[in-house]
Amino acid sequence: MIDFSLPQELVDLKQRVDHFIREKIVPLERDPRQGPHGPGEDLRRELIALGRAAGLLSPHAPVKWGGLGLDHRAMAVVFEAAGWSPLGPLALNIMAPDEGNTNLLDKVATDEQKERWLRPLVAGEIRTAFSMTEPDDGAGSDPNLMKTTARRHGDEFVIAGRKWLISGASGASLNIVMARTLGEDGSDRGATMFLVDMDAPGFRIVRQLETLDSNMPGGHAEVEFDDVRVGAERILGQIGRGFRNAQVRLGPARLTHCMRWLGAARRCHAIAADYARRRHAFGKLIGEHQGVGFQLADNASDLHLCRLAIRHSAWLLDRGEKARNETSLCKVFCSEALGRVVDRSLQILGGLGITGDTVVERIYRDIRAFRIYDGPSEVHRFALARAIMSGDPALSDPIA
């Protein structure tokens, strides 16, 4: 039996986050230091300072490195509360890709690497990027197509290739780079992750991409590695185990995306419900018309089921169970269900919904990308179908 009840200390923490987001962060949502490529660095640092002053910074990170050390169940509650505002995850330092990179460094990095990179990351002093996706028919949903290489040259590795859709690259300090590793004789050693400084000779941001969303500091970029040299001390994990080690990051990150976007969708629903209770049309409140009332009811259903799915997946992760299929299920369902919630909310608002007078229009643009990043729905469905055909008991007979 899964117990979804919350201990009192977690209830108290949620209330603190709720109050903090509404009182300190929501008033900054119209701050002019935001543009098409996300909040500016000075605004990010101001948000981090507010989160630190409130004692809420980096709830996901281990206490040893300066975080609050929450497990996944507690993270589900806190991340949802933070997601109420598009700026909330930044204020708590739980925004992607930094949140996922924090988990990756904690689980895979050496003590020296953690001291150099993890500690300032948890403190919100630096931002990071994760470079795996490539243009020109390279690695994407199929990482085996990776073209970027890291060729061994004596005691160093020489990285060459291009990556794109790299979130937060502009202004980041550290780039975690996935590359196909080659021996000095050209033999393929498999994929490896490397820690690369953003100011390393040979690295450059080719262009800033114009994208639908605007919630990511630094936006999304195409980057190039022109024979970037790194020493063996910059290997993250082990040579040839890059894809396997990346799962430490990718699985939980799918779930934390769901947590944050649940909070954002809840905000949209609350705005739409409030509007439906005060806007009149054809002699009564619009919420009393079935066309609007049923949409609100569907929103409540999707939000409730998403929360259950998230907390169940979090429970599995906290138990130490392998939950790759579970997080895929959750990511597909939540990305589509929460997108529906935001879409319905905008529709209920009518003309108001397509203006910037509420945050719904902004969230509508931002959440659409959720169905694509960290694996589009179709790729997760393909993997789930393959698991079903192979006889995975959890998927073949899910109610057993």
386 alpha carbon, distance to own chain's centre: 25
The secondary structure of residue 64, as a DSSP letter, is G
Peptide bond into 97 cis (omega under 30): yes
pLDDT of residue 398: 60
CA-to-CA separations, 71 to 63, 118, 381, in angstroms, rounded: 11, 18, 28
Per-residue pLDDT tens digits for 39-94: 999 999 999 999 999 999 999 999 999 999 999 999 999 999 999 999 999 999 99
**Structural domains for the chain:** 8-122 (1.10.540.10), 128-238 (2.40.110.10), 243-396 (1.20.140.10)
Comparing 109 with 140, the larger pLDDT belongs to 109
Q: Amino acid identity, residue 311?
A: R
Query: Rounded to an integer, what distance in angstroms lies between the CA atom of residue 163 and that of residue 223?
Result: 5
Contacts of 228 (CB under 8 A, 6+ apart): 158, 159, 160, 196, 200, 201, 202, 203
pLDDT of residue 5: 83
Per-residue pLDDT tens digits for 322-344: 777 899 999 999 999 999 999 99
Question: Beta strands 128-131 and 174-182: pairing type?
Answer: parallel
Query: Rounded to an integer, what distance in angstroms lies between the CA atom of residue 345 and that of residue 138?
Result: 37
pLDDT of residue 1: 58
Contacts of 258 (CB under 8 A, 6+ apart): 306, 309, 310, 313, 330, 331, 334, 335, 338
Q: Amino acid identity, residue 185?
A: D
CA-to-CA separations, 313 to 7, 72, 178, in angstroms, rounded: 18, 9, 27
111 alpha carbon, distance to own chain's centre: 25
Query: Rounded to an integer, what distance in angstroms lies between the CA atom of residue 357 and that of residue 374?
Result: 30
61 alpha carbon, distance to own chain's centre: 15
pLDDT of residue 395: 84
The predicted model gives 129-151 an average pLDDT of 94
Task: Give the angle 174-59-345 at the CA atoms, nearest 5°.
Answer: 95
The predicted model gives 292-308 an average pLDDT of 98
Per-residue pLDDT tens digits for 156-202: 999 999 999 999 999 999 999 999 999 999 999 999 999 999 999 99
203's enclosing H/E stretch is strand 203-209
Query: Rounded to an integer, what distance in angstroms lies between the CA atom of residue 183 and that of residue 165?
Result: 28
Share of the chain above pLDDT 70, in %: 98
Mean pLDDT computed over every residue of the chain? 95
247's enclosing H/E stretch is helix 242-276
Question: What is the helix, strand, coil percentage profile of the chain, to 5?
Answer: 50, 15, 30
pLDDT of residue 365: 97
pLDDT at 38 over 90: yes
Contacts of 105 (CB under 8 A, 6+ apart): 113, 114, 117, 118, 121, 236
pLDDT of residue 272: 98
Query: pTM score > 0.85 for this model?
Result: yes
pLDDT of residue 141: 86
The predicted model gives 277-293 an average pLDDT of 98
Per-residue pLDDT tens digits for 347-380: 999 999 999 999 999 999 999 999 999 899 999 9
